[in-house]
Amino acid sequence: MRCRRASPDPSRRDDSVHPALKPIREKDVDSASVSKKCETTEAIAKRQSEPVQITEGAIQRVGECHCGALKIIAAGEPERVYLCHCKACQRRTGTAFHFGVTYRRGQVRLEGEYNIYERGADSGSRIRYYFCPTCGSNLRWESERNPTLCGVAYGALETFDLSPTSAIFKESMHRWLELPSLTEHHRQGRPSAAS
């Protein structure tokens, strides 16, 4: 497995952009975030203080990137299925909104080569995205804000049996995006107590 990390361009400074897109200051970029360190999924989980523990017999949802080189396996039921309308998610996915499935980190396994892109969120915590270097598909992400959870890209999954029940960053939702009403909307991120 090979993995690489990249950090945001510190020269990208524009106060007019969404808070989630404000650039990381030079001093905030620690040396680890720009190193080319290779991690196994187990090492990722260890760093996040929760081992990968996929229970035998649990339902598994399997996904892969566009070219098929990077796979993701999520065992058991997710904690949350949601949409995010923040501008950073729009840019990262290239589409109008992000559709995420949140699991406990120990439920998710990545198989294959990936790159890591790391950025600072407006909450002050750091977010890491794992994407395929060949086709660019983002499959997994994690935030320091929620050290026991990670996200899986809905679009990567082979089955569509999950429906979103909440949406965040509604304030930056495209007005022309006509989606079904969801039970729970948050103007920005979800309150930390509920995250």
Partner 1 sequence: MLTGSCLCGGVAYEVDAAIGPIAHCHCATCRKAHGSAFSSVSSVPRDKFRWTKGANLLASYESSPGKVRRFCSKCGSQILAERAGQATVILRLGCVDTPITDRPKVHIWRSQGASWLDPKDQLLEMPEGFA
Q: Is 129 within 8 Å of 149 (Cβ atoms)?
A: no
Applying CB under 8 A, among 105, 109, 119, 126 the residue interacting with partner 1 is 119
Applying CB under 8 A, among 80, 96, 113, 170 the residue interacting with partner 1 is 96
Applying CB under 8 A, among 15, 178, 181, 187 the residue interacting with partner 1 is 178
What b-and-e string marks burial along 157-168, b requiring 16 or more CB atoms within 10 Å of the CB?
A: beeeeeebebbb
Q: How many residues does the chain have?
A: 195
User: Residue 163 corresponds to which tokens in the numbers above?
Assistant: 């429906």
> Judged by CB under 8 A, which stretch of 26-34, 48-56, 85-93, 105-113 contacts partner 1?
85-93
C-beta of 98: minimal distance to partner 1 in Å?
6
Kindly tell me the sign of the dihedral angle through the C-alpha atoms of 39, 53, 69, 94.
negative
Of 24-63, binders to partner 1 (CB under 8 A) are none
- If one asks whether residue 112 binds partner 1 (CB under 8 A), the answer comes out as no
Applying CB under 8 A, among 88, 110, 167, 168 the residue interacting with partner 1 is 88
- If one asks whether residue 156 binds partner 1 (CB under 8 A), the answer comes out as yes
C-beta of 99: minimal distance to partner 1 in Å?
4
Q: Is 4 within 8 Å of 115 (Cβ atoms)?
A: yes
User: Residue 36 corresponds to which tokens in the numbers above?
Assistant: 């080319």
- If one asks whether residue 78 binds partner 1 (CB under 8 A), the answer comes out as no
Cβ-proximal residues to 190 (8 Å cutoff; 6+ apart), any chain:
166, 168
Rg (the chain; Cα; Å): 16
> Judged by CB under 8 A, which stretch of 52-60, 103-111, 158-166, 186-194 contacts partner 1?
158-166
* Cα–Cα dist 33/194, whole Å: 28
Contacting residues toward partner 1, per CB under 8 A = 6-9, 11-12, 21, 23, 64-67, 88-99, 115, 117, 119, 129, 131-139, 153-156, 160, 163-164, 174-180
